[in-house]
């Protein structure tokens, strides 16, 4: 079949400051007039020649197109339509048991120089890995449709936005990208007008022979997710799941965007974004970086327990931060949806998330109720007596295994969130007042500590960690480092990334830069009990932080930073004994010396590449700890 004969025509792009039109088609192949389109057409033709699809469909992002793709997946047995009475417009996908999460071990940074990837990334020689990928992708889409998906991260044409194009042979990926990004012909107008764009290529790696029946979840045992930071490309093979297939998410919005940010002078961060509004109606903007299982989504959808305070959600996972001409740091959420972990999301932990999922949601690997609705561990206090589990098998609570996969997901539009900010998608973003870093630490790290300045805050961020195992007798447990919550997502050497954060700080006015704090909701007492109630009561920590930013409360100097006076915390309505408060803010110099040793060991893995100001911060910490022991 001739290449021109397998194209289907897209809708005409909307004009954006210039005339952009769909020219007459030849053999079904669309030709869009406007500079920049020639490179896109050439690239699509090259990918089609390599992967050999049966047909090509240019995605226009329309509701009709999306509905048709969803119906097609239901007809093919790839999606289960949920009961519209309970969950209108919603679907359940069940992945292959071997394809249930990001494949970090098969994720590579193919920079020209290995040292530019750094010790925290898997490096691949770009020429060598391109040869491997070419062999894998050759003919990988036979018998399938190749979809061409133009998408924007952030509002189309926004000053902080960037665009890309994904080609994929997965309709599941297309419908998911349609939720998570801004998809459609308006993006083609940007390309036609000469905008730069990121190339992303995805195949499930399961070609179909003529007459061969398709799998409900096609995938391949061999998997690669390869990033080319020097040419701003992503190639993903073999997986249909999550961030392995929705390449706009972690692959583009963090790994590739972190490289673009380094080159252009901004930051792509694994951060939630919220607006906190005090009882007087004053608004403050907070970005927060937490590793997984540290309460990130709960904070993004926080419902304060302090009367008069409220939170508007701007984003739950990724923020792009850019210095403004006014000396402040401005932030957008580049995503259009939430791709959240279902287990643990329930009425008692995150009622906002549950209310967001009322309909128009794609669920993956959760359990199915007999009435056609879905369920997962944590959604309700008690499990239903009978379910169909995530693999399609009968399930009852006495079986001793979860009904939903621990990494089961929901994909839903951010616009459905009942507390989404009215301007959550504003192109210019919002000015940041506060940046939070947090990990899951049972020991040592106080409930909240303020950095003394930007450099000290970067030092804090570079040392975010969680304990792998429970600690005993106040000693530091084995730590899993996750600097800035970016360990799996930084597209270049993390030591250089630390340096980039320092450079960003130099572009901000000292009196307008966001203040940096470290928080830890998870400190435990000697009896293993959590000392802080968490969840909605975390607003009490936010309250102190905001009052600190406004200069309404003071702080106590400690060797590791500034701590609140316990009397400055608003604890009305909750019972936190004084002994627990004392332990929540205790700083043991001897244990912190061990922390400093671990930091030095971690820095050493970068072979002397860690910026000198952070080494100086480490030396200063050691000095203050010695002084504290002799005081």
The domain that holds 391 is classified in CATH as 2.170.8.10
* 605 plus 621 within the same structural domain: yes
Let me know if residue 90 belongs to a domain. no
Residues 286, 221 within the same domain: no
Q: Name the strand (E) or helix (H) holding 74.
A: helix 63-75
pLDDT at 631: 75
Assess if residue 96 is contained within a domain.
no
Q: β-strands 182-183, 145-153: how paired?
A: antiparallel
DSSP assignment of 416-475: G-TTB-TTTT-TT-EE-SEEEEE---SSSS-SEEE-SSHHHHHHHHTT-EEESS---TT-
pLDDT above 90 covers what percent of the chain? 88
Q: What is the pTM of this model?
A: 0.93
Q: For this structure, is 219 an active site residue?
A: no
Q: Considering 219, 251, 294, 417, which one is annotated as catalytic?
A: 294
Query: 229 and 140: one domain?
Result: yes
Question: Both 235 and 316 in a single domain?
Answer: no
- 513-542 residue pLDDT tens: 999 999 999 999 989 999 999 999 999 999
pLDDT score of 468: 64
Burial of 55: CB neighbours in 10 Å, binned 0-12, 13-18, 19+: middle
Q: Which two tokens stand for residue 224?
A: 């690669």
Do residues 249 and 322 both lie within one domain?
A: no
Domain membership of residue 91 (yes or no) is no
- Please state the φ and ψ torsions of residue 478, each to the nearest 5 degrees: -65, 125
Owning domain of residue 380: 338-415
- 197: β partners: 163
Q: Is 217 in the same domain as 162?
A: yes
Q: Which residues contact 460 (CB under 8 A, 6 or more apart)?
A: 437, 449, 451, 516, 518, 561
Torsion of CA 194, 198, 199, 201, to 10 degrees: -140
Largest CA distance in the chain: 83
Q: What is the pLDDT of residues 370-397, one digit of tens each?
A: 999 999 999 999 999 999 999 999 999 9
Residues 567 and 448 placed together within one structural domain of the fold: yes
* Helices and strands counted in the chain (H then E): 16, 34
Give the tens place of pLDDT for each residue, 303-321. 999 999 999 999 999 999 9
Note whether 235 and 350 are same-domain residues. Answer: no
pLDDT bracket for residue 365 (50, 70, 90): very high
- Count the domains in the chain: 3
């Amino acid at each position: 079949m001739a290449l021109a004969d397998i194209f289907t025509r897209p809708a005409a792009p909307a004009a954006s400051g210039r005339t952009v039109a769909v020219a007459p088609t030849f053999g079904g192949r669309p030709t869009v007039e406007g500079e920049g389109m020639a490179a896109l057409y050439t690239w699509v033709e090259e990918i089609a020649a390599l992967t050999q699809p049966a047909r090509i469909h240019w995605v226009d992002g329309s509701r009709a197109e999306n509905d048709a793709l969803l119906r097609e997946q239901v007809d093919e047995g790839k999606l289960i339509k949920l009961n519209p009475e309970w969950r209108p417009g919603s679907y359940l996908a069940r992945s292959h048991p071997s394809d249930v999460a990001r494949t970090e071990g098969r994720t590579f940074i193919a920079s020209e120089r290995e040292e530019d990837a750094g010790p925290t990334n898997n490096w691949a020689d770009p020429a060598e890995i391109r040869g491997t990928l070419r062999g894998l992708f050759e003919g990988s889409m036979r018998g399938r449709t190749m979809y061409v998906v133009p998408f924007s991260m952030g509002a189309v044409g926004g000053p902080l936005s960037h665009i890309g194009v994904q080609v994929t042979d997965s309709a599941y990926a297309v419908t998911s990208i349609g939720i998570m990004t801004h998809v459609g012909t308006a993006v083609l107008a940007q390309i036609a007008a000469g905008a730069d764009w990121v190339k992303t290529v995805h195949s499930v790696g399961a070609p179909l022979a003529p007459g061969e029946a398709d799998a409900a979840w096609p995938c391949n045992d061999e998997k690669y997710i390869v990033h080319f930071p020097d040419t701003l490309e992503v190639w993903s093979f073999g997986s249909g799941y999550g961030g392995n297939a929705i390449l706009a998410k972690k692959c583009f919005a963090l790994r590739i965007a972190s490289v673009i940010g380094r080159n252009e002078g901004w930051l792509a961060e694994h951060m939630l974004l919220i607006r906190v509004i005090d009882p007087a109606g004053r608004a403050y903007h907070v970005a927060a970086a937490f590793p997984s299982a540290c309460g990130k989504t709960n904070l993004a959808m926080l419902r304060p327990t302090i009367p008069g305070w409220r939170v508007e959600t701007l984003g739950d996972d990724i923020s792009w931060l850019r210095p403004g001409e006014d000396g402040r740091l401005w932030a957008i959420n580049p995503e259009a949806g939430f791709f959240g972990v279902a287990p643990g999301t329930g009425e008692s932990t995150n009622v906002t998330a549950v209310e967001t999922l009322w309909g128009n949601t794609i669920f993956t690997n959760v359990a199915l109720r007999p009435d056609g609705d879905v369920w997962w561990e944590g959604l309700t206090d008690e499990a239903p007596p009978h379910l169909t589990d995530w693999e399609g098998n009968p399930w009852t609570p006495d079986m001793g295994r979860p009904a939903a996969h621990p990494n089961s997901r929901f994909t839903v539009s951010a616009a459905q969130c009942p507390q989404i900010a009215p301007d959550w998608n504003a192109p210019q973003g919002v000015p940041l007042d506060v940046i939070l870093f947090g990990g899951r630490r049972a020991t040592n790290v106080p409930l909240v500590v303020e950095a003394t300045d930007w450099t000290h805050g970067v030092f804090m961020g570079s040392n975010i960690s969680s304990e792998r195992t429970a600690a005993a007798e106040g000693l530091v447990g084995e730590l899993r480092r996750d600097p800035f919550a970016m360990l799996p997502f930084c597209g270049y050497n993390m030591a250089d990334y630390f340096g980039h954060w320092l450079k960003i700080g130099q572009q901000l006015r000292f009196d307008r830069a966001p203040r940096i704090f470290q928080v830890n909701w998870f400190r435990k007492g000697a009896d293993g009990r959590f000392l802080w109630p968490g969840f909605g009561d975390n607003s009490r920590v936010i309250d102190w932080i905001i009052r600190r930013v406004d200069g309404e409360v003071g702080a106590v100097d400690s060797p590791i930073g500034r701590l609140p006076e316990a009397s400055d915390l608003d604890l009305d309505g909750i019972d936190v004994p004084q002994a627990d408060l004392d332990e929540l803010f205790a700083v043991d110099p001897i244990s912190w010396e061990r922390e400093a040793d671990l930091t030095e060991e971690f820095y050493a893995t970068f072979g002397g590449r860690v910026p000198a100001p952070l080494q100086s911060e480490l030396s200063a910490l050691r000095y203050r700890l010695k002084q504290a022991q002799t005081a």
